Every structure is written in C-alpha cells, then in structure tokens.
A and B are shown apart, each in its own frame.
Chain A
Amino acid sequence: MKILKAKLHLDVADNGRDSILLFSKDFVNKAAKLGYDGLDISFDDAEFTISELNDLKKYADKKNINLVRTSEDKYWKQPVTEEEKVKIRTFEDIRTNVGKSDKKTLEIKEISKVLTEIEDTKKTRKIIYFSGFQYRKIYDADGKYISRLQDLVIDGGERFPEVSHIMIIQHSNGVSKRILIPWTHVFEWGKYIKLNLIDSQLPTREIRDDDVLLGENILDMQVVDVNGLKVIRVNDIALTYIKGKLAVVSIDVGTRSIFRRLGLEPMLEFLHWDIKDHPVQWDTIEPLTGSVEKIHLKVPCPRVSNLHPADVADLFEELSLRERNTLLKSMHSDTAAKVLLECARDVRGPILKSMKIRKVLSILDRMSPDDAASILAEYPVDESTMLLKKLNPQSAMKIQEMLSYNPGTVARYMDDLFIAMPQTFTVEESINAIRAITKYPDNFNYVYITDENNVLLGIVSLKGLLIASPSSALKDIMATQLVAVEMSHPIGYVKELITKHDLISLPVIDVLGRMKGVIDIGKVLDVVIDSTEHNEVLELTDEQKETVDKSKRLRGYYASIVKDIGKFMKDLDSKKPKKKDYIENMTLNAINAEFTKKIK
C-alpha cells in the first residue's frame, strides 16, 4: 500500500473546527489524485473528534483511500503492520499557517500551491445562495469593519456569469454612494467576509449604469423561462465555484427559497416538509427590466428571439404591457412582425398603439400585403390612413388594394408574390432562376407555369422539381389539371377545395385565367380556427355556390377566347402594341361581345 503521510499545522482557534475536515478532505483528494492508497493525516494543534473521523472515513472510502495511522496514536481502526510494504513520503514542510495577518499573502501562495492540484477543494462544489450573502459584515485585512455587503455585481454575457465585484453603500457628507470592490480582493467569506487588503489600499470605483447587480436587477424580479415559455419570479440565486471563480449557475423559483430567505428553513426540517428546490439554469432565462429608466440598458434578449414567433406570442399573454414592449424593442423588425401576427387581437392592439410610429411602419413594410392589411384594419380609419401615407408608396398601394377587397373573399388573404416560370424552361434553368431570386413568398410550395400573358398553364411542386431530371422541360413534368380560385371567391370555397384535393396552397387567378397570387392553407386555417375573430362564414351558401360555378364556366369561355385572340394577334404586324397590353385593355364587355360573336 502506498501511503501519503501529512502533518499539518492549523491554527484551529483562528480558523474554526470546520477547517480540520476541509483540509483533511483536501488531502484525501490529493492522495487519490497522486495514486496513493492510504493517507495518514494529523494536526499539530488538534485531534479529530469521532464524528469528524467518521465523516472523513466515509469521504475517504468514496475516494478509495484507506485512512491509516503510521504511529501509535489513538482513534484509528486500521493500524498498519510492519509486514506490509509501505512507501511513505512525508510532507512535513507544509505549514499551513492560515490566520496570522503578517504572513497572509505569503500563506495564500503556499496554500494555493498545495491546493491547485486539486480543483475547488476548499470550497467544494457547494451551492451558495445569494440570500445568504446579502448584508453580511465585511472586514478588511486588519480586521477593521468596513460595511455590510449590499449586493454583488456580475459579469454579464457568459453562460454562467462570474461575480466581479461586491457592492457597499458609503455615507459621506450626507450623500450615500454605491461603491464597488473587486471580488478578487475577497480573501474569505462565510459568516462574514474578509478582504485581503486594508481599507485604504482597496481599489474601489463607483457603480455605473451598466453594472448588473444580482440583488437589485435579478432577485425578486420576473424573468422569462425560455424553456418553459413562461414568466417566473426569482426567489433566490444559486452560485457556485466554477474553475476557481464564483459564478451564478441558476436561479431558484421554488417555495423552499421563500422559507430560506425568511430564515424559516429549520421549520421545514422540523415539520419534515420535504419541499424541493426548484432551480432554473441561468442560460435558459431572460431577465426583464423593471423600472422606467433601466429599459434602455443591456439584455438584448437573444434567447427569446430564438423562439418560434408563435411561442413568443404565447409568452406575451403573460407579460405586462411594458414588458412586452421591452421584448419587442429588442427584437429585429422581421421577428417582431411575425410575433405580432401570431398574437391575439386583444393582445396586439395595445402593443401597436403604444409602439413608436417608425417601428410600426417598419414592421408593416416587412409583412406581406394581406397581413399588413389585416393589421391596419384594426386601427381606426383616420389612423390607418395616416399610417398608409407614411409607408413607402409601393407597399401602401398594395395594402390599399388589399383593403379594398371585400373581407371574406380570397383577395383579402392571398399573397401576391409567387414564382412563375415559362414552360420551356428546363428543371435546371428554373432551379437556377429560383436561386437568383431575392424575395421569396411567405409560403413557397409550388412553381407556377405561365405563358407570356401570365395565364396559368400548369403547376410543378417543389418535390417534382427536385426529383425530375435536370434536363427535362417544365412543360413535360407540370400538372395541367388545375385547381384554382378567383379573387372574388369566398374563403369557404377555398376550404372546400383544399380539403377535397388535399392541397396546401391554391393559385389565385382572375377571370381571364391570369395568375394573381397564391392562397395558402395557413390562412384558411386561421380563419377556420378563429372564425369568431374573423366573422367569416365558412360554409358556402347556395348563392355563393352558384356564383362560383358561374365564374368557372365563364372562365373556361374566356380562356378559349384569349387563346384565339392571342393566336390572332400573333399573325398581325408586330408594330402593334404588346399583346399582353392589348388584351388587358379590352374590357370585359368587349370580350363578352367577341364571345357571343364566336358562339353564334
């Protein structure tokens, strides 16, 4: 058996009895690390008590170290016999003379030399609660009382932020200042806090606005639990030593913390009430700011921005108006736009009304016209007109067009952005073309094949595009049995088509068969789920069914006219105005006239 023998000089009177076990356990760790099987540890000025010995033995057993005594002293159960091969190394020069102020800085180096091989030994991975820290007395190196610890400053940004300073309040000339002392000057903490310099030598600075205080900014505040997607209140803060530095590891929201902070934890033991701690890890929470002033500060809410907009919208319902605004302000306008769209109307209204106009405009700009139109519809008329005037003219025009359509019709819900290709393109050419596009529609599931007049000829799904051979022409792979709706069709008809044909989006065409936009199942679902909010009738009335049928028939006729006229135009002199314009310039009456002529 390889035995490590250690004899320590410990000023137990100064350091308290806890230091005996602390250092003994250190050495058990050290022995284990260095590959010893046995440890013989004794102190110059103290003896183990039986309970301490049992405690140490349990600890040593866990580390597979045998506690031995290589001399004839008492209290040991396992004497080493002389027959056993013993390799003894002594560490007798280690003098751990902690406590004598003159040699303090020297001792610190020595201790750290001994202890650095073992990480975090003195303060073994124990959870320290912030509530235990607050208001403890602080003494300097000479033992002079300085003040009480008011708060701790943490270094934000890390996954587990480190404690950087302690804060005290100094009163001078009737003015109270909040002063910070770097944490590195804390020599020891426990029932009280001891610094390693004397008062006059301490490097202090006054607190700045961007310093994050545990007590003031985090404790008792509400924070967002990004995992649980709810708002929770910090009852206590848990810190521990990570790589030799004190850092915040989690917050506690459990009821046990309430008891602890009130000093009533013994009562829990007494009543055998096993209330567990309820920690939430620091890297899954997002602090919210409380006071009017501090809203401008740090915490850019990175974690919340990573959530799905619908989840954030859910979260919004739990927050107060001010907290919602803080979160929105810190989000990029794109995310904010998506979140707002997911919010319920009664949540959205107050937020929009309290936002700055500029932000509202930038959000509206980023939305598709139908979404922006539905948001604007929630404003009173004069306000929405004013907003429209301030938007950039292109978006404003599209939105106004949207608003002019009857609610409950396809036109109001369609997205006017879609991807169209000529039928002569090959699959490879179309994929390249798609890649070159800068702005994609919100829901991009199909590619629409149109002719030079923008009339819909066929549809290719993205799946179809991917699996076809790159050299095949679109006209060969496209589906020509088209299911489409017109702008004036009621939303209920879309629902019918989508359920009947199992589609996810439908092309929207005008009466001449030209592509106008796409309507997506998501919009229909919104209406279906929220039919009270949208006041739409989803089942088609008989009248509506008739209108739809009529328009389908008419469309067929118009399509044939357009084809013929188109062919006719082709034979004419090319100096004539563009065919497309020509057809558009024909009124419906004129086409009707042509049609009646044709069937006669």
Chain B
Amino acid sequence: MFEGLKKYFDKTQWVILLSVIGPGIITAAVDNDPGGITTYSVAGSHYGYLLLWTIIPIIIALILIQEMASRMGIVSGKGLADLIRENFGLRVTFYVMLLLVIVNFGNVLSEFAGIAAAGEIFGITRYIVIPICAVGIWLLVVYGNYKIIERVFLVASVVYISYIISGLLARPPWGEVLIQIVTPHVVWKPDYFIIIMGLIGTTIAPWMMFYLQSSIVEKGLKTSDLKFSRIDVVSGSIVTGIVAFFIIVACALTLYVNHIPVDTAEAAARALFPLAGTYAAMLFAFGLFNAGVFSAAILPLSTAYSVCEGLGWESGVNKSFKEAPQFYFLITFLIVAGAGVILIPGMPLIKIMIISQVLNGILLPIILIYMLRLSSNHKIMGEHANTRTFNIITWFICILIIVLTAFLTLSYFVNFG
C-alpha cells in the first residue's frame, strides 16, 4: 500500500484513484444512518468515554472485512450472493438470504424510525411524515436515477461535520479523551454489552458487505486497481471512525455529564447544542432525515438485488414488474412493512434502532465465515487469496463476535449483579 502512496505524485495514478473511489466512501456515509447515529449517541450518553476504546478495534475490523469484500469483487467479478450460491449451494444461500431479509427488515425499520424521529423534532406527526416518505422512497427506488440520488445524498451528508464541530466546540479534555481511546473498560451490565454489539453491528453491517461488493463489481474494476480500492476502503473507514468518535464525545460531554440518557431523538439532538444552540435540534433532524431517507432507499434495493442474485430471480429497475416480480415484491414489501410497523402506536423508536443494529452484529459472524472461506479459496481468488496472517486475525475477530453474542444471550437468562 505504501508504494501506492509514493505514486501519489504521478498524475495518472491520481486519475485512476479518483475513478476507483466511490464504493468505500459511500459505504462510510451510509454507516452513519439513523441506526448508527443513534447507537453512537446512546454509547456516549450512557457511558461517557467508557466506550471510546471500542472504536479503534471496530474500525480495524471494518477495514479488514471491507478490503476482503472489495478484493473478492474485483478478482471474481461477482457479487457476494453470487459467490455464496456458486460455492455453497442453494440451501446455504437460501438460509443466508432469509436471515439477511429479516435483519435488513430490522434496519429498514430503524431508518423509518429515524425519519419519524426527525419529523417529530420538527413537530410533524409521524402519521404524515412516514406515509409521504414511504411513497416518495418507493417512487425514487423504482423510477429514479440511482447515480443522482447517490450524489445528492453524499452532498447532504456533509451535515455530519456538525457533530465534529460540535464536539470540538464543547472543548473536550483532549488529554483524558486520548487516553480513554486506548484504555479498554468493561462494565458488567448487559446494557453495556448490548451497546458494544450494536456498535459492531452498525459499523460493520452485513448488508453493507453485499452492497460494497456489488458496487465494486458494477464499476468493473480490474486487479490492477486493487491498491486504489484499498485506499478507498481505508479512507472511508477512517472517516466513519472519526464521525463515530465525535458523536460519542459530543454526547458524552453534553448528555452523559448531565445524566440525560438518549431515549428520544430530541435528547440526541441536544448533543449538538454547543454548536447550533437552539438550531441544534433542527440540524440534527435534518441530518437524521437525510440519512434515513437515503438508507431507506438503498437498503430495500440492495436487499432485493442480493436475494435475487442468490436465488436466481430476475432483478433490475430497468425491468418491468412482470419481468422481475420477486425483485419488486421484495422492495415494496420492505418499504411498506417497514413504514407500517413504525406507524403502530407506541413503537419505541430508539429501542428499535438499537436492537436492529444488534441484530446486524449477530448475523455478522455468519456472513463473515462464508466471506473468509470464499476469500481464502485459491480457485476463486487466484493469487489474491487471503494470507495466513489475514486469516488468523479475521477468524479471531469472528470468534470474538460469536463469543460476545453467546455472552449476550446468556445475559438475558442470567443476571449480573
């Protein structure tokens, strides 16, 4: 990778880099969907700086896993669902797809929850906001031009800088913060571990792996673009880490300190107070809304593509309803059911958002195991298969997450003191 950096001074290399960049950055931006923002806010407001140490390990894991997905996409030229189907057969694919749909449904719920919460900050009831947005999103997905959507969203994501600025304006005690980043803590409460699981799940969401690999395949990159793709992935991940860091810090400084737990969106908005004062809520709501709408459009689309790819059904927005019935059914179902559930009175929005990210974390090891087996397979990857070190580290991460899951399930039945 370092030779890649040296060549930065060569103009052609810059051109190639700019053309390759994209998937990693988008995935990073999507990382900060309502589920993500909420999880980071909860982490900061419930535990202050005590969860900061998880950022670096999680980001490292994110880099490794995303690099694997992009490498697989470049070398094989196929999507993840495709590879799973061709190498592990229909049964495995079917169950993985089933789990993916369930977990992604949770994510869609969380996006709509975010949209509802944003609406409520503006004082508009969710019963107006959600139906309008659901219809709008559906039309966007089915009839819209994806490239334009992507660009608009990216531009609007700049709003997250507000968290960074807010965090800086609140003048965090840098000495203490930097120490906390590298000091692991363990608080023996189930809530703590749930949040860690949520942090893992929201940063390394399984659906993002499918999405990343598909966009790389779509770009038609070659093996010579590998090093640039790695730069794309690494920079995207680092940006995610930075935004996560500042959200946690901002919430720690404003909410934790005053013992305000995040259980409504307004509480989370309050973290932006140092920056925007009374407009904090508005800024936050805007960011939440933007992230929610875009993710609510991407998620059903990506899920439908992956499932149809895996099960051999026709897919593509350029096909008619008759030509690709399962594809459109999945999209419509996810949007309609997602919006519908949120409209049920009394739905605890924040709780839904956290639980959906936890589910992401639980599904992750399963997907990860298949990704590891595929990317270590020389028949598929040729000379670009995983190195031994890579495998050891990633398997270790995988096992760690499984242990954490087991721990969590146990903690439901056994109470800690």
Contact = CB atoms under 8 A, between A and B. Distances in A.
Interface of A: 219-222, 232-235, 253, 255, 258, 261-262, 290-294, 320-323, 350, 353-354
A445 B131 CA distance: 62
Contacts of B76: 320, 322
Contacts of B351: none
Given A261-B90, A261-B91, A322-B77, A220 B380 contact: no
Given A258-B311, A321-B77, A323-B77, A233 B94 contact: no
A261 B312 CA distance: 14
B78 interface: yes
A354 B222 contact: yes
Top 3 closest pairs, chain A to chain B, by CB: A233-B312, A320-B77, A322-B77
B77 A235 contact: no
Given A233-B312, A235-B312, A353-B222, A220 B77 contact: no
Nearest to A293: B379
B64 interface: no
17 contacts: A220-B85, A220-B90, A220-B93, A234-B312, A235-B312, A253-B312, A258-B94, A258-B311, A262-B90, A291-B379, A292-B378, A292-B380, A292-B381, A321-B222, A322-B78, A323-B77, A350-B222
Interface string B232-255: 000000000000000000000000
Interface residues of B, number: 24
A320 B221 CA distance: 11
Contact of A235 (B90, B217, B326, B381): B90
Q: Which of B75, B77, B90, B382: most chain A Cβ within 10 A?
A: B90
B220 interface: yes
Nearest to B379: A291
Nearest to B223: A354
B191 interface: no
A222 B76 CA distance: 14
A221 B86 CA distance: 6
B219 to A, nearest CB: 9
Contacts of A262: 90-91, 94
Contact of A292 (B86, B89, B382): B382
A219 B381 CA distance: 20
B90 A320 contact: no
Interface in B366-382: 378-382
Contact of B220 (A220, A222, A235, A350): A350
B94 A232 contact: no
Given A322-B77, A350-B220, A290 B94 contact: no
Contact of A233 (B77, B85, B378, B382): B85
Interface string B67-92: 00000000111100010011001110
Contacts of A292: 75, 378-382
A321 B380 contact: no
Contacts of B78: 320, 322
A284 B92 CA distance: 29
Given A232-B312, A350-B222, A353-B222, A220 B379 contact: no
Contacts of B90: 220, 235, 258, 261-262
Interface of B: 75-78, 82, 85-86, 89-91, 93-94, 217, 220, 222, 311-313, 326, 378-382
A382 to B, nearest CB: 9
B92 to A, nearest CB: 10
A290 B311 CA distance: 17
A209 B379 CA distance: 13
Nearest to A347: B220
Given A222-B86, A262-B90, 9 more contacts: A235-B312, A258-B311, A261-B90, A290-B380, A292-B381, A294-B379, A320-B77, A322-B77, A353-B222
B89 A220 contact: yes
Contacts of A255: 313, 326
A68 to B, nearest CB: 50
A220 B382 contact: no
Contacts of A261: 90-91
A354 B93 CA distance: 31
Nearest to B91: A262
A321 B220 contact: yes
Nearest to B377: A291
Contacts of A232: 312
A232 B379 CA distance: 22
Contacts of B382: 292-293
Q: Which of A255, A261, A321: most chain B Cβ within 10 A?
A: A321
Contacts of B311: 233, 258
Contact of B380 (A291, A320, A323, A353): A291
Q: Which of A220, A221, A353: most chain B Cβ within 10 A?
A: A220
Contacts of A353: 222
Nearest to A292: B382
Nearest to A232: B312
A428 to B, nearest CB: 54
A322 B74 CA distance: 10
Contacts of A323: 77
A255 B90 CA distance: 12
A234 B86 CA distance: 10
B76 to A, nearest CB: 7
A294 B381 CA distance: 12
B386 to A, nearest CB: 15
Nearest to B384: A292
Contacts of A220: 85-86, 89-90, 93
A334 B379 CA distance: 31
Contacts of A234: 312
